[in-house]
Amino acid sequence: MKIEISREIERFGPIKIHGVQKVFELDGGLKNAKNDEENNPIIRRIAYDVQHEIQEQMAIVVPVRNEKIKLIEGVLSGIPHHCQVIIVSNSPREPMDRFKLEKDAIEHIGRFMNKKFLIVHQKDVALTRAVEASGYKHLLNKKGEVKNGKAEGMILSTMLAYLCGKKYIGFIDSDNYFPGAVQEYVQEYCAAFHLSNSPYTMARISWHSKPKIVESNLFFAKRGRASEHTNRILNRLISYYTGYGTEIIKTGNAGEHALTMEMAMKLDYSSGYSIEPYHYVNVLEKYGGIIAPPPDDVMKAGVEFYQIESRNPHLHEVKGDQHVKDMSLAAMEVIYQSPICPPLLKANILEDVHNRSLLPVDEDISRSLSYYPALHSADFKKFKEELQNESYAELFTKDLTDYTPEKKDKKVLRETKAAKIKELPNDGQLEVK
């Protein structure tokens, strides 16, 4: 892959947010191939074999709930062969066992691919017991099952990827119509990890376009309907503290993203579709130095966000207006409820959700989201022990001999009135358009 260097970088204490980087060629050739680009200061070449080395250390998670089996098969066919694929499904098991159908179809194509998929149901009894044994009970509902939600499935699969000994974890939605786009996203995750110097790195895909039919013609829209608003508010949050307006964040809602396992273990998560904007918010909360000074290891190594613009169009299942509204409201809520969200931005958010009819005008943003503390506090030895008789346990190659769960991080207090935050003089930038 040949990719431009980031033109802009927003720095926030130890956090670096790279501006969107454009891909110029999808295939960058082999490591030892003669190539003029080595002398080009603005283009980085990530050789095919370098990407391959990263893929061998990467788990790709495919969350599923009620998708067409043909779509899932297409997505799986696009994932590079050496990635460990983890499919976590929350499809209904009654009255018809949809998960059984999915598992059967996936194992069948796995024979042709000569590939062992790790496929689990989000509410599987053995997994639930393992989560409970690990002490990470936040993920369980009152009935003692793993809660519903995409984020909850992602957190569970992060625990499985950790046991598989993977260094990187990436997420790809299961409703993507283009296997070529899926393959490209994974290559872009690899490019970001290759470019980064930090063990705390996240790659986020900014789609080149999302095709739609408008008046019988294909129209390639640049952004999704929710993302535009999420990005604007996240950028305002950053501007508030830096004192400079910015448009750096273009991937506030990126479902397609990947992290180093070290970062995946350190982050707190939030529920459902708010998980992606919360990545930015939580990193700012934890490491931005606003609430407390960042820990030494993060201060030294830094945290890097890469945003890469893909070449393939992103075509996925359309799930309706209400779904987009709910997703957008969840994104707004997760920013609004953050203790680092200044009162003026809260007012902006409220006005925005009312203007867009995400909430009735007389309603305030409620607290509907759940928050999950960093996974490094879970007891992975116990988690593994509970799963030792499962067919996929052979994939658990992580050596846990010296593993001890870390102490829980101090809880981030979520106050509706972020009263302790200083008013800075750049308030004028924060008005709603």
Site of interaction with ligand GDD (CB under 6 A):
63-65, 67, 88-90, 122, 148-150, 153, 173-175, 224, 226-227, 253, 255, 273, 276, 316-317, 319, 323, 327
On the 0-12 / 13-18 / 19+ scale of CB atoms within 10 A, 428 is exposed
User: 124, 389 in Cβ contact below 8 A?
Assistant: no
Between 124 and 276, CB nearer to ligand GDD: 276
User: 43, 37 in Cβ contact below 8 A?
Assistant: yes
Between 53 and 326, CB nearer to ligand GDD: 326
Name residue, tokens 């893909």: 310
User: 288, 241 in Cβ contact below 8 A?
Assistant: yes
The tokens for 252 are: 């506030």
The tokens for 325 are: 């509204």
Distance from C-alpha of 97 to C-alpha of 125, rounded to nearest angstrom: 15
Residue 409 CB, nearest approach to ligand GDD (Å): 24
Residue 371 CB, nearest approach to ligand GDD (Å): 17
Residue 126 CB, nearest approach to ligand GDD (Å): 17
Residue 405 CB, nearest approach to ligand GDD (Å): 25
Concatenate the DSSP letters of all residues of 225-294 into one string.
HHHHHHHHHHHHHHHHHHSS-------TT-SSEEEEHHHHHH--EESGGGHHHHHHHHHHHHHSSSSSPP
Between 28 and 277, CB nearer to ligand GDD: 277
The tokens for 186 are: 């994974």
Cβ partners under 8 Å of residue 22, min gap 6: 3, 4, 309
Between 51 and 91, CB nearer to ligand GDD: 91
Between 145 and 386, CB nearer to ligand GDD: 145
Residue 425 CB, nearest approach to ligand GDD (Å): 34
Is the Cα dihedral 310, 187, 67, 142 positive or negative? negative
Residue 315 CB, nearest approach to ligand GDD (Å): 11
Burial call 377-415: b when 16+ CB within 10 Å, e when fewer: bbbbebbbebbeebebeebbebebeeeebeeeeeebebe
Residue 228 CB, nearest approach to ligand GDD (Å): 10
Residue nearest to ligand GDD (CB): 255
Residue 156 CB, nearest approach to ligand GDD (Å): 8
Distance from C-alpha of 383 to C-alpha of 265, rounded to nearest angstrom: 15
